[in-house]
Structures are given as C-alpha cells and as structure tokens.
C-alpha cells in the first residue's frame, strides 16, 4: 500500500542497519528517499541497491549538515519525512571515559542530531514528520553506557520540545527507542561466531519476548509515524525492546 506516495524522505545513516531497512520500507510505501552517510563508497553502493538517492554527509559536522540541507533544497525542494538515524556507540565506565570518547558520542548522537533537525526545519513542509532514533538505554542504567545513554536522553528531551515548537506548523516529532536489534554492529566489533552467539544468548535471556528485534521492525514503526495513520501522535517515545527495559 503506497501510504507515502509523493512524499520526500531523508534518512541519515541510511547505508546500513536500521537506516537501510527503513529507507527500503519508505520507498516501498511510495516515498522518494534520500539516504546520507559519511562513507562515499558505502552510500553509493546502498543507494544503488535500494534504488534511491545518496548524498555523502557527516552528521558529526555542522558544516556538512548545512551543505546537505542546501543540496536537498536545490535538488528536491522541501522534505516531508526526516528520519534522524545516524549514531554511534562507544562504551566506557565513568571513571575511565576519555574526552575524545565523550565528544565523539555527543558530536554525532546529540549535537549532530540536534543540528540536523535545526537546519532542516526551514525546508520541512507543513505537516511533515520527524523521527529521531533514540535507544532504550536512555531510560535504563547499564554500566559503561553513561555517555551513550546521556546522548539519547538529551535527544528525547529535544524531541519533546521540538514537538511543541513545531506544532503550529502541524509538524510532528517523535522518537523510536530500540533495544537489541539484529544488525551487523556486533560483527563489526571483531568477535568470532562463538562469541557472537554467547552475547546474543546473554541478551535474549534479558528480553521478556525472548528474541532480538529486526531492523525491519524499526523501519515499519518509522513508516507508521511518517504516515497520516499517526496524525495525532507527537512528542512521544516508542520503546521497541521486547520488554527489556521493564
């Protein structure tokens, strides 16, 4: 069903994982999709596979965000759907956290996401939908997650205030907070198959529904929040973690 026909959608961090899956679903539902990411080769490959437009942009740099907005305005006009998905995870206990690690997380996850919304506001159509990718860690208290969880908690606060500020233009702002999702993130940590399996089993034991989610699950929620079916929903956080945070 083409519920997003004639909509222009932007997905940051769209070359892999949740961003890639969401871009695929948005396109299937009729939207014209633009994905962004830091790595030229990865963005070009993903855009080709998905049959969407790709633009290289680093969410951690304000100048790159502003260039991205200028490019999209020139090439596509206004935007109807903005999925601010790009983010990174780095863990450390509070005692040993470095300034470099702290700044790295905050520059992308909070400052970058904040200014992505800020700079896109002038080219959002009235009635547009903005969705932040947050995390269930924002409302949990796991050791070694302080910087990451704080970046997402700050994002949730921004989301609610933006929902109030943009309501006069009927622009809705929400957040999706996944828990454990099956992506390539763990594989990128250099773990072998046995170690990956042990970690997955450890995670699943802590999820009441007893399985990990999929990137498609998140993409479907983003598509729902982008459609007229959620026209009365704004300023809300949707935790999708199989009950883990309970």
Q: Provide the whole-model pTM.
A: 0.94
Strands of the sheet with 8-12, listed across from one edge = 53-56, 32-37, 8-12, 79-84, 124-133, 172-178, 237-240
From 240, 103, 235, select the one nearest 156 (Cα to Cα): 235
Q: 236 lies in a domain? A: yes
pLDDT at 203: 87
Q: 2 lies in a domain? A: no
Q: 224 lies in a domain? A: yes
pLDDT at 187: 60
| pLDDT above 70 (res 189) | no
Q: 28 lies in a domain? A: yes
pLDDT at 238: 98
Residue 184 binned pLDDT confidence (cut-offs 50, 70, 90): low
pLDDT at 194: 83
Q: 201 lies in a domain? A: no
Q: How far apart are the C-alpha atoms of 12 and 85, rounded to whole Å?
A: 5
CATH number of the domain within which 100 lies: 3.40.50.720
**Contact criterion met (CB below 8 Å) for 128 and 79:** yes
Q: How many domains does the chain have?
A: 1
Q: 19 lies in a domain? A: yes
Q: Tell me which residues are annotated as active site.
A: 148
Instruction: Give the residue numbers spanning the domain of 131.
Output: 8-183+214-240
Q: 18 lies in a domain? A: yes
Tell me the pairing of strands 79-84 and 8-12. Answer: parallel
Neighbour count for residue 90 (Cβ, 10 Å): 17
| pLDDT above 70 (res 188) | no
The whole-chain average pLDDT of the chain stands at 93
pLDDT at 186: 60
Q: 204 lies in a domain? A: no
- Least confident interval from 50-59, 72-81, 181-190, 217-226: 181-190
In this predicted model, what pLDDT tens digit does every residue of 135-170 receive, in sequence order?
999 999 889 989 999 999 999 999 999 999 999 999
């Amino acid at each position: 069903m083409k519920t997003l026909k004639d909509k222009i959608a932007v997905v940051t961090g769209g070359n892999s994982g949740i961003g890639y899956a969401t871009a695929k679903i948005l396109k299937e539902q009729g939207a014209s999709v633009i994905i962004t990411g830091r790595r030229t080769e990865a963005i070009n490959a993903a855009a080709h596979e998905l049959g969407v437009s790709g633009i290289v942009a680093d969410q951690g740099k304000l100048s790159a965000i502003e260039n991205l907005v200028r490019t999209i305005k020139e090439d596509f006009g206004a935007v109807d759907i903005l999925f601010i998905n790009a983010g990174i995870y780095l863990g450390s206990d509070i005692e040993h956290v470095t300034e470099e690690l702290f700044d790295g997380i905050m520059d992308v996850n909070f400052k970058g996401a904040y200014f992505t919304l800020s700079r896109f506001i002038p080219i959002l159509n009235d009635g547009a939908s903005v969705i932040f990718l947050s995390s269930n860690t924002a409302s949990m208290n796991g050791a070694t997650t302080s910087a990451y969880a704080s970046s997402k908690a700050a994002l949730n606060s921004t989301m609610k205030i933006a929902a109030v500020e943009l309501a006069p233009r009927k622009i809705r702002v929400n957040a999706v907070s996944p828990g454990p999702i099956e992506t390539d993130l763990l594989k990128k940590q250099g773990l072998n198959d046995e170690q990956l399996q042990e970690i997955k089993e450890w995670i699943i034991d802590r999820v009441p529904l007893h399985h990990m989610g999929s990137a498609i699950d998140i993409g479907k929620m983003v598509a729902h929040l982008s459609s007229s079916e959620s026209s009365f929903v704004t300023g809300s956080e949707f935790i999708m973690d199989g009950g883990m945070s309970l």
